[in-house]
Amino acid sequence: MASWWKRALSTDVPLITPSGLLERQCWWGSCTRLSANLRQCIRGRKSPLDGHLVGSISEAAAEPMFDLVLVPASSAGHDAIAGDGRRVEIKATYGSSAVAIRQTSHGAAAALIVLKLSRTPGAKHEVVFYGPLAIAQQAAGSFESNGQARMGLSRLRGLDLTVPPEDRVPQRLP
């Protein structure tokens, strides 16, 4: 497990099942402390307790796996710059079915990294897709009114098999 993750999880408030009012207050205190610790450990990421938290974790998880540098949070349409100069959008899920791909990333990002984040401490995250964003956007079909298209992880795994080595986002050596 990365050292930033161990530091982020360290807390005086134990993580417990929220069943009573006092337990809920302790649970919420653990969540807010985790968010604060993540802000300190992951440079340039806010880590609020909403959908952005998974995004911040995914970006931090992708950085040591791939040859890329994270850009400031909320940069339009991309999260990082790869070593070869391409702008990269990073998506992830803790689930097992799909991620949402944004239409607004088109033109802003050239590459896409999709991770299935592990729920098991110390286990590696699965790299579902790492290649040209255009391949995933074409396969996604029509976008919904919110500008997003849900893309199944199984479909992305299949698309990943078609990406030529020269089109992949460069990985860091272990």
Residues 97-138 pLDDT 10s: 888 887 765 568 999 999 998 877 778 889 999 999 999 988
Q: Centre a 10 Å sphere on the Cβ of residue 174 and count the other Cβ atoms it contains.
A: 5
Write down the pLDDT at residue 66. Answer: 94
Residue 101 C-alpha from the chain's centroid? 12
Distance CA 4, CA 41 (A): 5
Q: Which residue has the higher pLDDT, 167 or 26?
A: 167
pLDDT in tens, 61-79: 888 899 999 888 777 788 8
Residue 37 has pLDDT above 60, yes or no: yes
Sign of the alpha-carbon dihedral angle for 92, 46, 48, 30? positive
pLDDT band for position 47 (cuts 50, 70, 90) = low
Q: What is the 3-state secondary structure (H, E, C) of 6-42?
A: HHHHCCCCCCCCCCCHHHHHHHHHHHHHHHHHHHHHC
Write down the pLDDT at residue 3. Answer: 47
Q: How many angstroms separate the first and last alpha carbons of the chain?
A: 14
Q: Which residue has the higher pLDDT, 60 or 110?
A: 110
Write down the pLDDT at residue 19. Answer: 45
pLDDT band for position 51 (cuts 50, 70, 90) = low
Of 41, 33, 36, 39, the C-alpha closest to 12 is 33
The residue ranges of DSSP E strands in the chain, in sequence order, are 68-70, 80-82, 87-93, 98-102, 111-116, 126-132, 148-152
Q: Centre a 10 Å sphere on the Cβ of residue 24 and count the other Cβ atoms it contains.
A: 13
Of 42, 20, 16, the C-alpha closest to 29 is 16
* Structure tokens, 60: 């931090």
pLDDT band for position 43 (cuts 50, 70, 90) = low
Contact 156, 114 (CB under 8 A): yes
Contact 39, 27 (CB under 8 A): no
Give the pTM. Answer: 0.74
Residue 41 has pLDDT above 80, yes or no: no
Distance CA 57, CA 73 (A): 12
Write down the pLDDT at residue 90. Answer: 92
